[in-house]
């Protein structure tokens, strides 16, 4: 019952195998809670500002 014994945990550690006597650790499952939807109340202060019209480009006259 030493390093060469396949049936003991010490033997399985030496050989690098897993089995009934040397089980692997179970991974813990993490459950991420879903975010709750929050209704946004529209008020006059939160409205976006109106876009200004783009400035028109004027043609420059060439001096002679």
**Is 11:4 a contact under the CB 8 Å cutoff?**
yes
Single pTM value for the model: 0.34
From CA 3, how far away is CA 8, in angstroms rounded? 8
Q: Which two tokens stand for residue 20?
A: 């009934």
Neighbours of 8 (CB within 10 A): 15
What pLDDT score was predicted for residue 16?
85
What is the per-residue pLDDT across 13-64, written as a single tens digit (0 to 9) for each? Answer: 888 888 887 788 888 888 888 887 777 665 555 566 677 777 777 777 777 6
Q: How far apart are CA 60 and CA 31, in angstroms?
A: 66
């Amino acid at each position: 019952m030493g390093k060469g014994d396949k049936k003991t945990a010490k033997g399985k550690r030496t050989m690098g195998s897993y089995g009934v006597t040397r089980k692997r650790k179970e991974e813990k499952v993490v459950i991420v809670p879903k975010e709750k939807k929050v209704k946004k109340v529209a008020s006059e202060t939160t409205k976006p500002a109106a876009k200004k019209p783009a400035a028109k480009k004027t043609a420059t006259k060439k001096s002679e």
